[in-house]
Structure 1
């Protein structure tokens, strides 16, 4: 039974995405501002299948293809670009310029980081810096969203899809910021603990996907 639960959690980065995709199939017509999230779910599914297959069958693959670290890098960059675009598409008249500037700052950081400090296709090292910076910036987007909604006179409804998406994203990045930040060092010094800690990431990812599914359900035109 324990092995079954472990396998379910290990593959959650794949099957959890089927939850919002199921609701997307049910509610096919989504508003334009949801487009980055829809694209993210599809791309994340493809990347996470590749990530998990690489990890599970790494010993059967050629040595140069046994690491999935670069796939996490791609996923991190894609997630930031699409969700930062999502916040801009919401067209909230609050910190408008800063939200666009942060996209450029992140792009500059990625270029400098992987040109000078790290290797994008690093076989041995998980890019804790990239994922923690991404999480911190997305958390900023979530906080500014809530600040705007608090100051807005409009009543907040549980049926608003953006509220569900931002809340799910906020939970995911807030919980995982320190996991991302410390994970690379933990894999070196406390490998078993690091593997166990990743289960927290997987559980929050499931929560994230459930919140996206709820948003899709509430979003049909």
Structure 2
């Protein structure tokens, strides 16, 4: 029984994104410039491929490197869209361009040597957490025009913040734990999958909320 439960947890990073994608299509969610849906699709593709390689007992670490690189790019576009601030947009664009240029060397190394750059993962987690905190600050500093609990982006950001902030130390120290042959490394990654599931639940709630008036105007 425990073996079945462990196997199910291993796919918490693949099945929930698939369900969210099906829900988005079934409910006719606006897909144009819906970067969170693009992000979820990215998770499904890369995590699903990584799980497939794992089933075939093939090294899959480089897939996670590609996943994080693309995820960071997509989420940066999402926060630029949410902020609607030229200053913050230039700041985020500068960060993402610098990171993408630097990460090209790491991706090439990862695909040839099957490595896992956990330090880069930790940096990405810190940056995305910072993006989320800027969003919260903007929401708190302005006079709310509507109940924030009914705003889609609020739940999206809650999910993103929960995932990246909670897993920061896991990502940052993963290489060290692997190098020291830490016996409970699989348990740590299952904790990661539980947090990933929590993010998907937040995004599910967001999908059931309305878009902000600004988003509706920009998509029309």
Band of TM-score, shorter chain: 0.7 to 0.9
Which 5+ residue runs of structure 2 have no aligned equivalent?
none
Q: CA deviation at 1:188?
A: 1.8
Question: Residues of 1 paired with 2:182 and 2:49: CA distance?
Answer: 22
TM-score (norm 1): 0.86
- Other-structure match for 2:143: 153
Hey, what does 2:47 align to over in structure 1? 48
Alpha-carbon distance between aligned partners in 2 of 1:219 and 1:85, rounded to the nearest angstrom? 20
Distance 1:31 1:43 in 2: 14
Match of 1:83 in 2: 75
The structural deviation recorded for 1:124 is 5.0
CA deviation vs aligned residue, 1:62-119 (integer Å, no higher than 9, x gap): xxxx21111001100111011110011124336333122211221233135457xxx1
* Counterpart for residue 18 of structure 2: 18
Please report the TM-score for the alignment, with normalisation by the length of structure 2: 0.87
Contact 2:159 2:198 survives alignment (8 Å): yes
Taking a change above 3 Å as real, the CA distance of residues 31 and 55 of structure 1, as seen in their structure-2 partners, is: closer
Q: Is contact 1:73-1:127 (8 Å) kept?
A: yes
Output aligned runs, 1:127-206, within 5 Å.
Answer: 127-154=117-144, 155-206=146-197
1:157 is displaced (CA, Å) by 1.8
Is the contact made by 1:31 and 1:219 (CA closer than 8 Å) also made in structure 2? no
1:209 aligns with 200
Instruction: Verify the 8 A CA contact 2:110 2:116 in the aligned structure 1.
Output: no
- Between Structure 1 and Structure 2, how many residues are aligned? 210
Q: Does 1 or 2 have the higher relative contact order (CA < 8 Å, sep 6+)?
A: 1
Structure 2 residue aligned with 1:61: none
Unaligned runs of 5+ in 1: 59-65
In structure 1, C-alpha distance between the alignment counterparts of 2:135 and 2:2, rounded to whole Å: 40
In the alignment, which of 97, 101, 105 is matched to residue 104 of structure 1? 97
Q: Distance in 2 between matches of 1:73 and 1:156?
A: 38
Partner of 1:17: helix, strand, or coil? Answer: helix
In structure 1, what is the Cα distance between the partners aligned to 2:90 and 2:190?
37
Counterpart CA distance in 1 for 2:73 and 2:17 is 19
Q: Does the 8 Å contact 2:31/2:37 carry over to 1?
A: no
